[in-house]
C-alpha cells in the first residue's frame, strides 16, 4: 500500500477528470437553454447588435414599430394599434430568436469552459533555486524559466518542459483521456500542461509560459468564443448581406411615395414588416452561430483552434505534410539488435554502445543502455569513469572519453567521418549493415572507438533502431486521397528508411533528411503552386513549418514550441485527426452555403404573401398573385412575419449540428444545394405561411 502523503497542491476532482467532452458539458439541457434565453435578452444591447448589420436593422425596425404602434394606441386607433402590436411582437421575436441561436452556440462553449475552469485552482509550486533548495511559491507567481519539482500525486503548476526525469501524467482534465501518458526529458514528449497530475516518479519542469497565458487559459478563452474572429468567407458573406439589406431598404423606403401616388398609402409598421421579411434575416441570424458551432465541433473532438480562419482553411487543404516520428510512426524508436562487424565480439559492441549512450538523454539513447545492460536503470552512469560527450545536432554523435579510450555512437556518416579523422578505416561491410537496417525500415547507428591513446579508430558495428507505423494509417491516407488531398511524409531519416516507411504507411510522397529549412522550402513551393498546406508535427524542429503552414496542427504530446507555433492543437495527439478537421472545415463551408441558399430562396414566398396584401385594394389585379389563398391582407402580412421568425428557430439545430458533408465536386455540391436547400427554401415558406394563416383564421386573432 502506498501511504506516501501527497504534497499540498491542487488536485483534479473526479467530475472534471472526465474531460470536457466526456462529461458532455456542452450537451443541450434545461440549464443551457435557460442561460441562452437570458443571454438572448442581454444581446438586445445595440452595441452588441451593431456587429451584425442585418440584425441591427431588425433592431431599429422593431424599435420604430414599437413607437408607431404605441402612438396609434394613444391616438385612439385601436384596430391599427392591435394589428401593429402583433406585427411588432413577432418582429422582436425575430430578433430574440436570432440572439438565441448565437447564445445557444456560445453557451455550449461556455459550459465546456466552466468544466475546464474547474480544473484550475491555486497551486503551490516547489521551485528549485540555483543552490538546489526547494522554495514553495504560489502558482500565480511563477515566472518563465523557473524550475519546479513535481512528485507523484502533485499537480503541474504551469505549462513547461520536463528537463529532468520521467513520469506518467494524468491529462484527463485537459484531454478527457483516462489513460496516463509518459512525459520525459529529451525528445519530443517533454511538454507538460498546467493542471495535469503526475501519477508516478518525480520530474523537474521548466516553466515556459507566464501565469494567465497558459494553454488551459487559452483553451478557456477559445471555447467561450471570446477570441473568435470572423473568417474571410464570413466577412465576404456579411458584406453581401449588407448589400442586399441596403437594396431592400432603398426599395421599401421608395415604395411609400409610389403607394401614396397610387392611392394606397401604407402603414409604416407594415412597411417595416415588409423590410424585415425581405432582407436575409435567416442567414443573418444564424451566421455567427454557424461559425461558433464549427469551433465547438472541433472542441468536442479534442482539437483547439486559435481561430475560425484555420477551420475554414482546413476545408480547402490540398497538401498535407506529416512528420514521421510520433505522427505516422509511434515515435519511440528503440534499440532492437546489435549488428557486429566481422571480428568484433557481440559483447564488445554492446558494451561500447552502452558506454557511448550514457550521455544521450533521448529515449533512443536510453533504450540502447537498456538493451546492452539489462537491469541497469536507464541512463544511469553511476560507477562509470570518464567524461561524457553529449549528443548535439551538429556532431550527431554521443560518447564517452575515458583516458586514452574514446567511444562514439551516432549517425553512420558522422561516425564514419570521425573514424577517418582519427586514422581508422571504414569497411564496406558497415555500409551493407546500415543499408540492411534501412531496407527493413529501421534506423542504423554506427558505433566506433579509439581503444587507446594514439591508436587508430575502429568501427565496431551498427545498432538497429526500430520504428513502427501506427495501425490504420494506410486506410486513413486513402480517405485523404478521396478528398483530393496529397500526403507528404517529412523525416530526418535517410532516403532508404524513409522510402520503406512511406510504402508501409501509404503516403503519396516523402521528404528525407529534412532539416527545418527544408520543410519551410517545401511548404513555400506548395503554396506558390496554389496549394493550401496543412502540417502536423510535435517537435521543436517542426515549429517553423507549423507556423508557415496554412493549417498547423500541433500534437499535445509535443514540445511547447510546436504547440505555440501551430494554429490548432490536437489534445489526443492523433495525427490522423486531421481528416476529421478537414471534414469539419468543409462542413462549416457547406452549412453556411446551404443556409444562405435557403434564406435567399424563401424570400420568394414572402413576396407572394405580403405584396398582394398591401396593394390588392388599390390594384385588384394583384389578387391573382395570392396563390396561397390567404384569408385576408392582415392575415397574409402577419403570417409572413410569424414564419420569418419561426424559421430561425427551426434552423437552429441544423446550424449547430451542421449539414452532413459528403466528398463531392464543386458542381455536384452546387446542384445538391440548389435541389435540397434552394427548392426547399422555395417550397417551405409557401407551406408554412399557409398553415400559419389557417391557424390565425381559426383562432380569430385578427
- Catalytic residue numbers read 323
Indicate the SS3 state at residue 151.
strand
Rounded to whole angstroms, what are the CA distances from 622 to 87, 258, 430, 682?
A: 23, 16, 94, 20
Residue written as cell 420569418? 644
Report residue 611 as a C-alpha cell.
405584396
Cβ-based neighbours of 632, under 8 Å, separated by 6 or more: 613, 702
Flag whether 360 is marked binding.
yes
| Axis-axis angle for helices 281-300, 78-117 (nearest 10) | 10
d(CA 287, CA 102): 8
Whether residue 394 is annotated as binding a ligand: the answer is yes
Exposed / middle / buried, residue 122 (Cβ in 10 Å: 0-12, 13-18, 19+): exposed
302-331 in b/e burial notation, b at 16+ Cβ within 10 A? bbbbbbbbbbbbbbbbbbbbbbbbbbbbeb
| Residue 395 counted as an annotated binding residue | yes
β-strand 551-555 against 533-537: which pairing, if any? parallel
| Distant-in-sequence, close-in-space partners of 506: CB < 8 Å, separation ≥ 6 | 473, 474, 477, 478
Residue whose C-alpha is closest to residue 122's, from 192, 194, 175, 170: 194
Q: Is 411 helix (H, G, I), strand (E, B) or coil?
A: strand
Q: Is 409 annotated as a binding residue?
A: yes
319-323 and 486-490 beta bridge pairing: parallel
Residue 538, annotated as binding a ligand: yes
**397 is known to lie in a ligand binding site:** yes
Q: Where are the alpha helices (DSSP H) in 262-307?
A: 268-278, 281-300
Q: Is residue 314 left, alpha or beta, with left meaning phi > 0 and alpha meaning psi from -120 to 50?
A: alpha
Smallest CA-to-CA distance from 102 within 159, 51, 153 is with 51
Is there a binding annotation on residue 396? yes
Q: Distance between CA atoms of 486 and 208, rounded to whole angstroms?
A: 35
* Strand ranges of the sheet holding 509-511, from the earlier edge strand across to the other edge: 303-305, 568-570, 551-555, 533-537, 319-323, 486-490, 509-511
How many CB atoms within 10 Å of residue 684? 18
Residues 6+ apart with CB under 8 A from 211: 139, 140, 141, 142, 158
Closest CA to 545 of 525, 529, 570, 530: 525
d(CA 578, CA 536): 8
Nearest to 578 by CA among 318, 331, 332, 325: 318
Which is it for strands 533-537 and 442-450: parallel, antiparallel or unpaired? Answer: unpaired
* Cα 566 versus chain centre, distance: 10
- Residue 474 marked as a ligand binder: no
Distance CA 303, CA 310 (A): 12
Residues annotated within a binding site for ATP? 360, 364, 391-398, 409
Residues annotated within a binding site? 360, 364, 391-398, 409, 538, 542
Residues annotated within a binding site for Mg(2+)? 538, 542
Amino acid at each position: 500500500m502506498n501511504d506516501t502523503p501527497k504534497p499540498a497542491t491542487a488536485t483534479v476532482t473526479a467530475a472534471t477528470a472526465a474531460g470536457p467532452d466526456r462529461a458532455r458539458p456542452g450537451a443541450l439541457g434545461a440549464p443551457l437553454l435557460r442561460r441562452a434565453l437570458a443571454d438572448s435578452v442581454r444581446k438586445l444591447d445595440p452595441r452588441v447588435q451593431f456587429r451584425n448589420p442585418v440584425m441591427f436593422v431588425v433592431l431599429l425596425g422593431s424599435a420604430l414599430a414599437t413607437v408607431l404602434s404605441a402612438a396609434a394606441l394613444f391616438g385612439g386607433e385601436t384596430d391599427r394599434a392591435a394589428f401593429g402590436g402583433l406585427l411588432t411582437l413577432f418582429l422582436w421575436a425575430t430578433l430574440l430568436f436570432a440572439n438565441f441561436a448565437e447564445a445557444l452556440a456560445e453557451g455550449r462553449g461556455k459550459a465546456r469552459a466552466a468544466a475546464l475552469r474547474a480544473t484550475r485552482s491555486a497551486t503551490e509550486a516547489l521551485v528549485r533555486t540555483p543552490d538546489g533548495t526547494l522554495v514553495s511559491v504560489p502558482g500565480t507567481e511563477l515566472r518563465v524559466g523557473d524550475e519546479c519539482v513535481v512528485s507523484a500525486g502533485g499537480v503541474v503548476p504551469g505549462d513547461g518542459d520536463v528537463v529532468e526525469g520521467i513520469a506518467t501524467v494524468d491529462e484527463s482534465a485537459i484531454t478527457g483521456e483516462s489513460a496516463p501518458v509518459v512525459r520525459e526529458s529529451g525528445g519530443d514528449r517533454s511538454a507538460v500542461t498546467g493542471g495535469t497530475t503526475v501519477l508516478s516518479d518525480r520530474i523537474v519542469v521548466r516553466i515556459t509560459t507566464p501565469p494567465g497565458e497558459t494553454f488551459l487559459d487559452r483553451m478557456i478563452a477559445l471555447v467561450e468564443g471570446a477570441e473568435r474572429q470572423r473568417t474571410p468567407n464570413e466577412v465576404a458573406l456579411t458584406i453581401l448581406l449588407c448589400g442586399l439589406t441596403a437594396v431592400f431598404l432603398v426599395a421599401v423606403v421608395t415604395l411609400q411615395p409610389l403607394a401614396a401616388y397610387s392611392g394606397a398609402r401604407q402603414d409604416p409598421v407594415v412597411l417595416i414588416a415588409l423590410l424585415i421579411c425581405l432582407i436575409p434575416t435567416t442567414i443573418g441570424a444564424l451566421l455567427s452561430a454557424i461559425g461558433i458551432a464549427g469551433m465547438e465541433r472541433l472542441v468536442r473532438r479534442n482539437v483547439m483552434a486559435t481561430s475560425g480562419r484555420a477551420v475554414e482553411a482546413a476545408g480547402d487543404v490540398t497538401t498535407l505534410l506529416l512528420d514521421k516520428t510520433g505522427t505516422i510512426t509511434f515515435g519511440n524508436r528503440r534499440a532492437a539488435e546489435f549488428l557486429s562487424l566481422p571480428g568484433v565480439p557481440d559483447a564488445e559492441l554492446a558494451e561500447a554502445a552502452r558506454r557511448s549512450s550514457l550521455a544521450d538523454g533521448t529515449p533512443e539513447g536510453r533504450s540502447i543502455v537498456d538493451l546492452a545492460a539489462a537491469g541497469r536503470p536507464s541512463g544511469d552512469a553511476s560507477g562509470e569513469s570518464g567524461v561524457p560527450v553529449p549528443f548535439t545536432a551538429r556532431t550527431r554523435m554521443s560518447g564517452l572519453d575515458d583516458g586514452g579510450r574514446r567511444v562514439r555512437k551516432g549517425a553512420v556518416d558522422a561516425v564514419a567521418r570521425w573514424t577517418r579523422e582519427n586514422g581508422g578505416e571504414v569497411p564496406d561491410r558497415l555500409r551493407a549493415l546500415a543499408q540492411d537496417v534501412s531496407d527493413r525500415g529501421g534506423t542504423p547507428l554506427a558505433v566506433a572507438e579509439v581503444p587507446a591513446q594514439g591508436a587508430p579508430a575502429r568501427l565496431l558495428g551498427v545498432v538497429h533502431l526500430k520504428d513502427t507505423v501506427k495501425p490504420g494509417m494506410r486506410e486513413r491516407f486513402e480517405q485523404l486521397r478521396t478528398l483530393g488531398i496529397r500526403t507528404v511524409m517529412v523525416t530526418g531519416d535517410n532516403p532508404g528508411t524513409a522510402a520503406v516507411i512511406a510504402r508501409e504507411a501509404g503516403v503519396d510522397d516523402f521528404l528525407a533528411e529534412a532539416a527545418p529549412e527544408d520543410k519551410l522550402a517545401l511548404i513555400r513551393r506548395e503554396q506558390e503552386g496554389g496549394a493550401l498546406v496543412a502540417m502536423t508535427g510535435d517537435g521543436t524542429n517542426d515549429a517553423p513549418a507549423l507556423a508557415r503552414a496554412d493549417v498547423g496542427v500541433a500534437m499535445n504530446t509535443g514540445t511547447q514550441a510546436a504547440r505555440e507555433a501551430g494554429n490548432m492543437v490536437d489534445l489526443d495527439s492523433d495525427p490522423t485527426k486531421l481528416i476529421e478537421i478537414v471534414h469539419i472545415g468543409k462542413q462549416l463551408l457547406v452549412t453556411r452555403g446551404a443556409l444562405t441558399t435557403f434564406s435567399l430562396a424563401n424570400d420568394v414566398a414572402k413576396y407572394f404573401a405580403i405584396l398582394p396584401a398591401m396593394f390588392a385594394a388599390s390594384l385588384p389585379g394583384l389578387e391573382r398573385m395570392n396563390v396561397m389563398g390567404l384569408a385576408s391582407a392582415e392575415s397574409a402580412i402577419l403570417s409572413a412575419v410569424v414564419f420569418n421568425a419561426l424559421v430561425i428557430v427551426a434552423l437552429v439545430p441544423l446550424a449547430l449540428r451542421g449539414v452532413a458533408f459528403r466528398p463531392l465536386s464543386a458542381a455536384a455540391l452546387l446542384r445538391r444545394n440548389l435541389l435540397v436547400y434552394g427548392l426547399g427554401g422555395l417550397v417551405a415558406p409557401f407551406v408554412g405561411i399557409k398553415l400559419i394563416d389557417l391557424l390565425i383564421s381559426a383562432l380569430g386573432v385578427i
